[in-house]
Amino acid sequence: MSHPTIGNRLVKNVTVQSMRDRPNCLTSGHRACQGCGEALGARCVLDAAYAATGGKIAVVNATGCLEVFSCVYPENSWQVPWLHSLFGNAPAVATGVAAAFKQQGKSDVRIIAQGGDGALSDIGMGCLSGMFERNDDVLCVCYDNQAYMNTGVQRSGATPAFARTATTLPTGNYLGNDAQTGKNLPKIAMAHEIPYVATASIGNIHDLEEKVTKAIHIRGAKYLHVHVPCPLGWGYSPSDTIKIARAAVQCGLFPLFEMERGKIMKSTPIKDPVKVDDYLKSQRRFAHLFGKSASPEALAALQDIADNNIRDYALAENANG
């Protein structure tokens, strides 16, 4: 593979969108919305895994947007072996594929189980935890758009505090989803002490690709949590997906880090800090926290989450030395 150039930069060992020989595991023509973060995330994850394994990957997909927009018979956008079973069982199905490949002497084919935050943090949590606990040879990727987007933006276990969804509509004193802070699936994965856990963002594709490339070769259970903004569900212009994704990372609400065997090994410092308020203001799902019925308490609570992340994951620039 030659080293392509982007502008005047020479980029080494990475796949970029403009490359002609990019595998496009999730190829064009699918039915995702304009500006879909999940479609971009899935394509980048799978293409990186494909490149790292010489094309030896098989994918198990949970029910959700990613499955629905990619494969309405007789069409489908997958250029890799791909299997969809149910909403809540993708990690267990992937375990079965791994067991079969082991029996067939095909352990060089790497297995990815993927789904949204609903599929993995809620309905499929049992199967996911089982896969982690058995340390099955599967990379599980969660594309986290923080709600059930496929069914019309209902709250999931990973929906952040005070976000408006179809089932957490702010009214009167109710600020929307005020009971929670969003289930922390990477920490839950980490508690299983599996070989590798990481977070990534479609706002930092090279970091995401590096993590996939690293994870895909590790034997045992791996977990990658990818932050994927959703223009429809979050309420912003489709052209702003990358901007929003970057702002989430740069304000501290979505920390990028890697963990191995239950310990944080590395985090990505914030380079261009963004104010939490500015990140929130850019999305209609938080609009009720500003303006006439503004809630300084809610904003302070969200700021606290970001501050805690910056402290706990050492995100302040130069914190990593």
Partner 1 sequence: MLRQLEGSHAIARSVALCRPRVVCAYPISPQTHILEGLEELIRSGKLQNCEYLNVESEMGALSVAIGAEAAGVRSYTATSSQGLLYMIEAVYNASGLELPIVMTLGNRALGSPINIWNDHSDAMSVRDSGWVMFFAETNQEAADLHILAFMVAEKMRCPVIVNVDGFILTHAYDRVDIPSQEAVDEFLPPYAPNISLDVDSPMAVGTMVPPEYFMEVRCLAHRKHEDSLALIERAGSTFEEKFGRNSGGLLRGYSLQNADTIVVAMGSVAGTIKDVVDELNHEGGKFGELTIVCYRPFPREALRNSLKNSKRIIVVEKSLAVGVGGILSQEIELAMKGCNVEIISVIAGLGGRNITKSTLKEHFSKKNHEKMTFLDLRNDIIADQYRPICSAAVKAEKTCPIQP
Buried b (16+ CB within 10 A) or exposed e, 9-29: eeeeebbeeebeebbbbbeee
> Is residue 279 part of the contact set for partner 1 (CB under 8 A)?
no
Q: Does the footprint of partner 1 cover residue 94 (CB under 8 A)?
A: yes
Strand, helix or coil at 51? helix
Of the candidates 198, 196, 194, the one whose C-alpha atom is nearest the C-alpha of residue 209 is: 198
Would you count residue 269 as binding partner 1 (CB under 8 A)? no
Site string for partner 1, 110-129 (x = CB under 8 A): ----------------xx-x
- Of the candidate residues 89, 199, 250, 267, the single one contacting partner 1 (CB under 8 A): 89
Tell me if 133 contacts partner 1 by CB under 8 A.
yes
Q: Which is nearer to partner 1, 129 or 154 (CB)?
A: 129
- How far apart (Å, rounded) are the C-alpha atoms in residues 26 and 76? 9
Burial of 37 (0-12, 13-18, 19+ CB in 10 A): buried
Number of chain positions touching partner 1 (CB under 8 A): 44
- When asked if residue 56 is in the footprint of partner 1 (CB under 8 A), the reply is yes
- Tokens standing for 157? 């276990």
Name which of 156, 160, 163, 256 is nearest 203 in CA terms: 256
Region 297-316 residues binding partner 1, contact defined as CB under 8 A: none
Contact 251, 203 (CB under 8 A): no
Least distance CB 101 / partner 1 (angstroms): 6
Q: In terms of CB distance, is 103 or 171 closer to partner 1? A: 103
Instruction: Please tell me whether residue 148 binds partner 1 under the rule CB under 8 A.
Output: no
Kindly tell me which residue out of 14, 19, 96, 183 binds partner 1, with binding defined by CB under 8 A. Answer: 96
- Measure Cα distances from 248 to 10, 150, 160, 306 in Å: 28, 22, 12, 9
Pairing outcome for strands 222-227 and 257-260:
unpaired
* Segment lying near partner 1 (by CB under 8 A), choices 88-96, 153-161, 179-187, 307-315: 88-96
Q: What is the nearest approach in angstroms of partner 1 to the Cβ of residue 263?
A: 25
- Side-chain-side CA neighbours of residue 211 (13 Å): 32
User: Considering beta carbons, is residue 102 or 261 the nearer one to partner 1?
Assistant: 102
Binding site for partner 1 (CB under 8 A): 55-58, 60-61, 67-68, 71-74, 76, 78-86, 88-89, 92-104, 109, 126-127, 129-130, 133-134
